[in-house]
Structure 1
Amino acid sequence: QRQVMQQAQPCCLLYSTVTEAALDELNADRVARHRVDLSAAPRSFERRHHAGERPLYTLFTSGSTGTPKGVQVPDRTLCNLLHWQRNQGHLPARSVTMQFSMLSFDVSFQEIFSTLCGGGCYHLINPRWRQDAQALLSYLQQARIERLFLPCVALQHLAQTAVSQGVYPQALREVITAGEQLLCTDALRSWFGGMPQARLFNHYGPTETHVVSAWRLPAAVQDWPLRAPIGLAGNNARLLLVDEHDQPVPGGSRGYLLVAGPMISRCYLADPALNAARFVELPQPEGNMLFYRTGDLARADADACLHYLGRDDQQVKVSGQRLELGQIEAALMQDAQVSNAVVAMHGEPPRLVAWLQVEGTPPDVQQLDRQVTLHLPAHVRIDEYRCVDAWPRTPSGKIDRKALSSLGEALQRRRSA
């Protein structure tokens, strides 16, 4: 919190009785505090002139370093996104949307303003429902919610709960997910198979750009691939796949994903070295363009549809061969008893560890080994499997991979005779 305050240098802070203790810990007693009576606040405000370069918000993300990075996002980023989403969705503008995202996650701005700018109705969430799928499902039905934004891990949990209880909200028509690789599990297919009126959208974009591509899954759930594409470029986005020398890669080849267009953020606060590394000018046919290095790997198919191949920092070497951890996770989730999986290199010397959420009795380790061998090269071997009851989550709702190391009960391999 102190690092965030030092970078942001705010002129004022908003707090409530819930967050006042955190303010005390920051030793901010020297700052005058004023109670605000919201009941006396005006019901509407004078419309301000739009300024595309004006900073709209700053979000802090730790990324892979653990040190908060302040990403300053201008008006034009959100305006571009709202225009694009209004044109590519299949709901009327005045839709009923359920809040789910926390304000520390950039999807919250998309969720709020796409609803209010379209004249829709925005239902505020009881914070406890983020961890209570049964209560959330009940409210989706009761309030006849039409649109829902969910991180991938929350979507998977909601689908599992819904299918196990036979709950298929018939007013729900649009579900938008983002934040991690979307895996089309059996639970997800079963849930949407019971809601033929609903469509699932996979959005992609880092905090520094917000959404830059999307893919609408087919209406026929049997046509869903296991790993959903991140889709086609969004409105005004220029997506470029390059090699280590910033040269475009041939079609179908793996490359580093770069983004240009009005959606890229202004800068990282007080970090000129990181700005120089991540925001680069590259020559294009129409002249030099400013690109943001996402740190993600992807490939484009013959239809220019992008397929996410993981983070560059989540590529590992197994027996000298490079492998993306998401490939191993997808292979493990082919097992009927595995509802979710996270794989990471852990310990010293590094070992390949898989954390699993399972349905019912944990699967046999030899069975899991066979699943990996069936879908991956023969040299890939998981050193340890661990079962977890629930995933630790980041404030944005993603799985907190750094908090996994000490969690879970190890599954034992049977000794061969």
Structure 2
Amino acid sequence: MDFLQKFSESVRRWPQKDAFCIGKDLYSYEDFASCISAVRSVLKKEAGKSRQKIVAVLAWDDIYSYASAYAIWLEGKTFLPLSPRNPATRNNEILRQTGAELVLSAGPVPRTILSATHIQMIDVKGLKSKGIHIEPAERDPDDLMYILFTSGSTGKPKGVQITYSNFNAFVKAFLDIGYSFTENDKFLQIYDLTFDASLHCYIVPLSLGASVYTVPWNEVKYMYALRLLQNHGLTFAKLPPSTIAFLRPYFPSIRLEKLRYCLFGGEPLDRDLVTEWRQCVPNAVVQNVYGPTEATVNCLEYKIPSDPGEIKHFNGIVAIGKPFGKNRAFVAGKNRNALDLEQKGELCVGGPQISPGYWKDDEKTTQVFFELSSGKKKERWYATGDIVLTDRDGDYLFCGRSDGQVQVQGFRVELGEIEYHTRTYLRTQAVALAKENYLGTQQIHLFVEKCDDPVALREFLSRKLPDYMVPSEIIPVEQFPVSVSGKIDRRKLYEMI
């Protein structure tokens, strides 16, 4: 069964069981299915008039946003989430690129977040259904399930296309890892709905008959998530590492004994941080998961040993492990030739989860998606831009971004090494960035959270690093800015230089 069929089965088997906890409100599977049916009825009517295939949703944290996504999928259409945290210019640009004319939203939409004039807005809040209709319409597995827009180097967002086939392959591969999920599990959903990790955190539990506990987009996410974990006894949490970095001062008082699975993804995971966090989650399986949006949520995973001395890492960053399911990977050289063990190169991933490419951007697609012959068949691959190496056990170790390697005074510098020594010294978060100065040469700027003595830090780094790697500027910050996905917002840090 695909994820929609699994959801329909959940509704049939557990109609009165909680599907969502959003704020102070609980919604049963029957409530949610009724909401989906109401939105679907209007969508069928309005989208049918214009034959619109792509339907946008202004993705607030409410039951109507989740219902709108399912209504779109049950109709076999393409979900296009728009963030209420985006400025109107960005949301307008996404609508322009896709040609989407139909936008679903729970309530009025301020012109500060959407001002396009060619669109038809449908207020789905409070719609009532005349029954439950959650049977999936006919569709092709290769139809687009969603388009997520990520930052583009040209200044315009680029749209990553994911098919129903891609996503169903992910769900099957993830569940086949070996989790012992039941309908009694409670999943945390901390991510903005424009980020693909959110799909993981609500579609998978709804396919199992489990419950989803959401973190509102306008809350302090790490504190709200902690309250949910503590007060509701959640059993599954997938988090950006930044979340627990913010919680680090509270570790001595945190004990989440009911948490059974704790996954980290979206950014590099620090070995010392996760080692300390383990004391807070004594009964949890802890994993580091990896996957670019172009490879449908996650495609590699690493189960983190309970013994800190056995944790595989590179410069203190926890390994990303091995491909799961039918995913594949290799380390590529400059000509995309496969490199030997323990040689650094670009991580390339392949398999049934790989995106068809970027929306109406053939040039960008051909730069990073490619085919390689395998026997009589050709396999499709995606070049991630992440620098990795494989150890003798076949585990992949994350070494940094390809754009995290910079040339300073003629020397190649990996910014991750500077961050590693800083974390070792201060036991706090650090981000090293390189930026061209007025002379046209690269200078290294180091941002450090809660650094009281930058002079002492510089002296420490000068003892650990060659002089060309010692940052020209150390910038203390009280707290790192984060993006809607919960990652450290490096773009905002660049603006501070």
TM-score by length of structure 2 reads: 0.75
Unaligned runs of at least 5 residues, structure 2: 1-90
What amino acid maps onto 1:76 in structure 2?
A: S
Aligned positions of 1:97-108 closer than 5 A: 97-108=187-198
2:407 aligns with 317
Which residue does 1:414 correspond to in 2?
none
Gaps of 5+ in 1: 409-417
Q: Which residue identity lines up with residue 276 of structure 2 in the other structure?
A: S
| Structure 1 contact 74–265 (Cα < 8 Å) conserved | yes
Question: Structure 1, residues 102-127: CA drift from partner, whole Å, max 9, x if none?
Answer: 11111111111111112211112233
1:18 and 1:175 mapped to 2: Cα distance?
Answer: 37
The letter of the residue matching 1:25 is: S
Whether 1:357 aligns to 2:446 is no
Deviation (angstroms), 1:11: 4.1
Q: Assess, with a 3 A threshold, how the Cα gap between structure 1 residues 373 and 79 changes in structure 2: closer, same or farther.
A: farther
Aligned pair 1:181/2:268, yes or no?
A: yes
C-alpha distance in structure 1 between counterparts of 2:458 and 2:133, whole Å = 58
Residue in 1 aligned with 2:371?
281
1:190 equivalent in structure 2: 276
Q: CA deviation at 1:277?
A: 1.6
Determine the structure 2 residue equivalent to 1:252. 342
Where 1:46 maps in the other structure, the secondary structure is: coil
Match of 1:404 in 2: 493
**What does residue 397 of structure 2 align with?**
307
Answer yes or no: is the 8 Å Cα contact 1:101–1:107 preserved in 2.
yes
More moved, 219-228 vs 248-257: 219-228
The CA distance in 2 between the partners of 1:245 and 1:279, in whole Å, is: 14
Matched-pair contact (CA < 8 Å) for 1:101–1:149: no
The Cα offsets for residues 185-244 of structure 1, whole Å up to 9 and x where unpaired, read as 34x322212432012211111111121111110123453342101110121112121211
Find the aligned partners of 1:73 and 1:122 in 2 and give their Cα distance.
23
Counterpart contact for 2:101–2:120, Cα < 8 Å: no
Instruction: Indicate the residue corresponding to 1:137 in structure 2.
Output: 226
Q: Distance in 1 between matches of 2:175 and 2:124?
A: 38
SS at match of 1:308: strand
Which AA in structure 2 matches 1:357?
Answer: E
How far is 1:133 from its partner? 3.1
Q: Does structure 2 conserve the Cα–Cα contact (< 8 Å) formed by 1:314 and 1:325?
A: yes
| Aligned pairs for 1:40-119 within 5 A | 40=129, 42-49=131-138, 51-94=140-183, 95-119=185-209
Could you tell me which of 217, 220, 231 is aligned with 2:304?
Answer: 217
1:162 maps to which residue? 250
Q: 1:346 to 1:161 in 2, by over 3 A?
A: same
Deviations 1:362-402 (A, max 9, x none): 1342344324632x445421111011112222222211111
Give the root-mean-square deviation of aligned CA atoms.
Answer: 2.3
SS of the aligned residue for 1:294 comes to strand
* Residues 88 and 50 of structure 1, relative CA distance in 2, 3 Å threshold: farther
Q: What is the TM-score when the length of structure 1 is the normalising length?
A: 0.88
SS in 2 for 1:88: coil
Distance 1:60 1:169 in 2: 35
Cα distance in 2, alignment partners of residues 3 and 24 from structure 1: 10
| 1:86–1:93 contact (8 Å) kept in structure 2 | no
Aligned partners of 1:18 and 1:156: how far apart in 2? 36
Contact (CA 8 Å) 2:371, 2:380: kept in 1 or not? yes
| Structure 1 residue 63 displacement after superposition | 4.2
Deviation at 1:24, TM superposition (A): 5.1
Question: Residues 9 and 364 of structure 1: is their aligned pair in 2 closer, same or farther, counting only changes over 3 Å?
Answer: closer
- Which residue of the partner structure matches residue 149 of structure 1? 238
One-letter amino acid of the structure 1 residue matched with residue 209 of structure 2:
G
Report the 3-state secondary structure (helix = DSSP H, G, I; strand = E; otherwise coil) of the residue aligned with 1:185.
Answer: helix
1:282-318 Cα deviation digits (max 9, x unpaired): 2224532121121221111101100112221221113
Change (3 A) 1:50 1:221: farther
Cα separation, partners in 2 of 1:199 and 1:377, compared to 1, 3 Å? farther
Using a 3 Å threshold, how does the CA distance of structure 1 residues 18 and 240 change in structure 2: closer, same or farther? Answer: farther
Distance, in Å, in 2 between the alignment partners of 1:168 and 1:286 is 54
1:126 is the counterpart of 2:126? no
Conserved 8 A contact 2:449-2:479 = yes
Report the AA paired with residue 449 of structure 2.
Q
Report the equivalent of 2:287. 201
Q: Distance in 1 between matches of 2:260 and 2:458?
A: 36
Conserved 8 A contact 1:192-1:221? no
Q: CA deviation at 1:405?
A: 3.3
Judge conservation of contact 2:189–2:214 (CA < 8 Å) in 1: yes
Question: Residues of 2 paired with 1:169 and 1:41: CA distance?
Answer: 42
| Inter-partner Cα distance in structure 2 for 1:22 and 1:15 | 15
Letter in 2 for 1:170: E
Corresponding residue to 1:339 among 428, 432, 436: 428
| Alignment size in residue pairs | 399
